[in-house]
Amino acid sequence: MEPPARSTFSAMKLSSAEASDRLAASSHGVLCTLHPARGPHPEPCLYATDGQLLAFAVEATKAREAPRLVCENNLMADPRATLLVEHWDPVDWSKLWWVRAELRHVPSPGPTRVDFLEGRLVDAVEQFRDRPFDRMVVFDVVNVTGWTATAE
């Protein structure tokens, strides 16, 4: 029996700075909050960050469906959240990477930072050009870690 073939790339942990750069360069991830009874509640979201704060918009159409989103209710019970951002290439696994941001909900952020993050989100997501937002949900970025398949 032959030993398994060795991979042609070597995985590595991203530095905090590189993980933060990849987080800032992206605008889509999976936000996970904690539901008090059901546990982890993952859902996709579009976000913007300035490195210290991270925010996503509650679109006006969603706000009309319910006073608060499930994730907002979860954050009222437990302010911790995690955002996972990843890059997947089914053909070239040397391009794989992921970044995980540990977050803490900020219930009453200052309007200047919120306006800045809203502007960054509008710049990143063309469909938000008209700013169809009811409100922004804001987090402190507590820690950022990541992994990549190869050193670039």
Give the largest Cα separation in the chain, rounded.
65
- Domain boundaries, position 36: 26-147
C-alpha to C-alpha distance for 135 and 105, rounded to whole angstroms: 14
Establish if 1 belongs to a structural domain. no
pLDDT at 4: 47
Establish if 7 belongs to a structural domain. no
pLDDT at 141: 98
Read off the tokens for 71. 């994730």
The letter for the amino acid at 35 is H
**Cβ-based neighbour number of residue 66 at 10 Å:** 11
Assess whether pLDDT exceeds 50 at residue 70. yes
Establish if 68 belongs to a structural domain. yes
78-124 residue pLDDT tens: 999 999 999 999 999 999 999 999 999 999 998 998 999 999 999 99
CATH assignment at residue 108:
2.30.110.10
C-alpha to C-alpha distance for 55 and 114, rounded to whole angstroms: 8
Establish if 3 belongs to a structural domain. no
For the chain, what is the domain count?
Answer: 1
Establish if 33 belongs to a structural domain. yes
Establish if 137 belongs to a structural domain. yes
